[in-house]
């Protein structure tokens, strides 16, 4: 017979077991396996052999890899644009106006949509001949002739980014709204009585107080845009050329089209290091209390 | 608060609403009329409405089979998510040895996106013999860290005295969860159900990698394949989009109040 305290602890571990098993199988082990695989020559039908830094050296001379890395960085850099837009919307739907719940729902509506379908919709919005965007641009005389957005080396990546922001906007908005609702109203009123203008109140009171939400939105946004595989795969397939190739699509192509699992693992490790360093930088930038947001 | 004109706010929000809704409208319109695929300039209101494209989708692909696969995988994911996350969230409301390590593990796992694990995930699922099966499709999504924290914060809000009273009455832990915690955490459950459903219903990359037979394809795969052999030239493609989007949207609209509530409280207080 175990002591009650020990029994209790044992029971709690049993409660945690299913979740822990899933994360072990699909998060922890894969990260380690990727690391090991990236230092090996290996394919499903071949015995593993030590490769040292060979795969990383290959990447260094691989133009596609650099292009994919660069595109990924651009996509990450676009996350703050979406967050800034969402912050504006969050401030608006936080105002004391009629029907704000309806506005919130409408703006959030694109988040639960299937990304493959979103990609198909936006392929068509950006279409050269019959796309709505070209039609609007031509109606208002913004362009002389239609732009083939998704077949253009200049426009393809921005187009994918626009679709991504469209889908994520509502999600950022909800995160920021939660932060805004925690800002005490009295602070604003007191500052207003002291003669602080709206802009001052926003930069001195609101922004510092919603920092944790901003950080959360940025991390979620970065994770989401860095991994927007579905959008790229369906909208452009990485093309034209490699103009919209991002690291995730490159990993997929290396691994599951060319069956070079070991090379793909090396790209994954680079991808992972990039991810961690950006999250770390964002954490520093917002005051280094990200852990506090989640654990409290 | 203060007095300021409301109309600029409405004006801006209506503008944003239009940007969010126009793509929906456009797809819906084309799915029932087939306009705007060739026609230029486009017409704003559909001229002739007919259900032809929906019937076309039904007969030109095994829609029912894809639908069944998607529903089965999503059901497994939803049931496992609610059960596992509630248990884990409940455990985390207690203090026990090793809790900090578990928290640290969860928080670091949050930073590992699924896309960064696809190669080992594929190999592991192969070793488990689950490639090309419903369970294998659902397994990586059977527990999610964000949802564990949503449950934890909801359970934290339950008054301590209630739990202590139940303990004194000799209620075992699992019955405390079932009879006290869960009935008081409706919005956490709604959040879990919706997120788990949306994530598995919309998942594309994982089924793309691990399904082999045509019989195991889910709706997103079917949609992407449909696009690849039809190109953007038929209203059926857009009818297919509507048929695929509808279930997620209906579920979301049914529970959106609880969902947004659960999400906001979980995101900040987690």
b/e string for A164-200 if b means 16 or more Cβ within 10 A? Answer: bbbbbbbbbbbbbbbbbeebeeeebeebeeeebeeee
What is d(CA B207, CA B200) in angstroms, rounded to the nearest whole number? 10
Residue A52: cis peptide before it, omega within 30 degrees of 0: no
- How many CB pairs below 8 A link A and B? 273
Considering only residues 117 to 176 of chain A, which have any Cβ-Cβ distance to chain B shorter than 8 Å? 117, 120-125, 127, 129-130, 132, 135, 139, 166, 169-170, 174-175
What is d(CA A242, CA A250) in angstroms, rounded to the nearest whole number? 10
Tens of pLDDT, residue by residue over A124-155, are 888 877 777 878 787 787 777 777 887 888 88
Tens of pLDDT, residue by residue over A16-27, are 999 999 999 998
Q: Do A135 and B109 touch (CB under 8 A)?
A: no
Q: What angle do CA B146, B152, B156 make, to 5 degrees?
A: 150
Q: CA of B99: which chain A residue's CA is closest? A: A13
Q: Domain A61-295: give its CATH architecture.
A: Orthogonal Bundle (1.10)
Q: CA of A228: which chain B residue's CA is closest? A: B115
Among candidate residues B193, B230, B251, the one with its CA nearest the CA of residue B56 = B230
Give me the domains of chain B, ranges plus CATH numbers: 49-269 (1.10.3720.10)
Q: CA of B139: which chain A residue's CA is closest? A: A22
State residue A296's pLDDT score: 31
Strand, helix or coil for residue A49? strand
Chain A contact probe: residue of B22, B44, B112 with most A CBs at under 10 A: B112
**Which regions of chain B are under pLDDT 50?**
1, 267-270
ipTM for the predicted complex: 0.85
Q: Do A121 and B27 touch (CB under 8 A)?
A: yes
Among candidate residues B108, B247, B175, the one with its CA nearest the CA of residue A32 = B108
Residue A200 in this model has a pLDDT that exceeds 50: yes
State residue B270's pLDDT score: 35
Return the domain boundaries, chain A: 61-295
What is d(CA B112, CA A78) in angstroms, rounded to the nearest whole number? 21
Q: What angle do CA A196, A202, A207 make, to 5 degrees?
A: 135
Residues of chain A in contact with residue B88, where contact means CB-CB under 8 angstroms, are: 15-16, 18-20
* A202–B contact, CB cutoff 8 A: no
Tens of pLDDT, residue by residue over A65-123, are 899 899 999 988 888 899 999 999 998 888 878 888 888 888 888 888 888 888 888 88
Strand, helix or coil for residue B112? coil
N residues, chain B: 270
First to last CA, chain A: 36
Q: Do A271 and B38 touch (CB under 8 A)?
A: no
Helix (H) or strand (E) holding A48: strand A46-50
Q: Do B232 and A124 touch (CB under 8 A)?
A: yes
Q: What is the pTM of this model?
A: 0.86
User: Which residues on neighbouring strands pair with residue A46, listed in sequence order?
Assistant: A43
Helix (H) or strand (E) holding A41: strand A40-43
- CB distance B192 to B85 below 8 Å: yes
Residue A291 in this model has a pLDDT that exceeds 50: no
Considering only residues 13 to 52 of chain A, which have any Cβ-Cβ distance to chain B shorter than 8 Å? 13, 15-16, 18-20, 22-23, 25-31, 33-34, 37
State residue A96's pLDDT score: 79
State residue B42's pLDDT score: 65
Q: Do B37 and A279 touch (CB under 8 A)?
A: no
Residues of chain B in contact with residue A223, where contact means CB-CB under 8 angstroms, are: 111, 113
């Amino acid at each position: 017979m175990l002591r009650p305290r020990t029994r209790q602890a044992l029971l709690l571990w049993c409660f945690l077991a299913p979740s822990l098993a899933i994360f072990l199988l699909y998060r922890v082990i894969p990260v380690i396996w990727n690391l090991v695989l990236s230092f090996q020559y290996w394919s499903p039908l071949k015995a593993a052999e030590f490769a040292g830094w060979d795969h990383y050296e290959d990447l260094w001379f691989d133009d596609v890899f650099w292009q994919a890395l660069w595109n990924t960085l651009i996509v990450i850099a676009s996350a703050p644009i979406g967050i800034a837009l969402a912050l504006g919307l969050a401030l608006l739907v936080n105002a004391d106006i009629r029907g704000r719940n309806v506005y919130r729902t409408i703006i959030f509506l694109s988040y639960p949509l299937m990304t493959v379908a979103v990609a198909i919709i936006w392929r068509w919005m950006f279409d050269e001949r019959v796309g709505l965007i070209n039609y609007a641009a031509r109606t208002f005389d913004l362009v002389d002739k239609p732009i083939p957005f998704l077949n253009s080396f200049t426009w393809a990546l921005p187009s994918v980014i626009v679709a991504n922001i469209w889908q994520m906007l509502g999600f950022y908005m909800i995160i920021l709204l939660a932060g805004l609702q925690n800002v005490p109203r009295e602070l604003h009123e007191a500052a207003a009585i002291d003669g602080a203008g709206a802009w001052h109140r926003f930069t001195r009171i609101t922004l510092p107080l919603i920092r944790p939400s901003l950080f959360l939105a940025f991390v979620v946004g970065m994770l989401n845009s860095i991994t927007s595989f579905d959008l790229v795969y369906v909208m452009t397939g990485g093309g034209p050329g490699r103009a919209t190739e991002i690291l995730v699509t490159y990993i997929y192509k290396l691994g599951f089209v060319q069956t070079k699992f070991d090379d793909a693992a090396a790209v994954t490790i680079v991808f992972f290091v990039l991810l961690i360093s950006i999250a770390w930088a964002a954490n520093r930038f917002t005051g280094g209390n990200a852990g506090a947001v989640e654990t409290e | 608060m203060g007095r300021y004109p409301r109309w600029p706010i409405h004006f801006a929000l209506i503008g944003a609403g239009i940007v969010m809704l126009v793509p929906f409208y456009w797809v819906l319109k084309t799915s029932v009329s087939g306009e705007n695929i060739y026609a230029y300039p486009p017409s704003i209101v559909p001229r002739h409405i007919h259900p032809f494209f929906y019937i076309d989708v039904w007969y030109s692909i095994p829609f029912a089979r894809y639908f069944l696969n998607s529903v089965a995988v999503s059901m497994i994911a939803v049931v496992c998510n609610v059960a596992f996350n509630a248990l884990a969230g409940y455990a985390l409301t207690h203090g026990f040895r090793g809790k900090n390590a578990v928290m640290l593990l969860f928080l670091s796992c949050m930073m590992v996106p699924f896309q960064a694990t696809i190669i080992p995930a594929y190999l592991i699922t192969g070793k488990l013999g689950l490639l090309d099966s419903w369970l294998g499709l659902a397994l990586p999504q059977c527990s999610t860290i964000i949802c564990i924290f949503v449950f934890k914060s909801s359970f934290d809000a339950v008054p301590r005295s209630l739990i202590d009273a139940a303990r004194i009455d000799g209620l075992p832990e699992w019955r405390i969860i079932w009879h006290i915690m869960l009935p008081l955490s409706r919005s956490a459950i709604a959040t879990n159900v919706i997120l788990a459903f949306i994530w598995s219903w919309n998942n594309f990359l994982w089924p793309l990698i691990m399904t082999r037979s045509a019989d195991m394809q889910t709706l997103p795969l079917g949609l992407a394949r449909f696009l690849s052999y039809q190109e953007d030239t038929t209203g059926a493609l857009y009818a297919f989009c509507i048929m695929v989007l509808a279930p997620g949207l209906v579920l979301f609209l049914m529970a959106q109040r609880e969902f947004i509530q659960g999400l906001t409280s979980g995101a900040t207080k987690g």
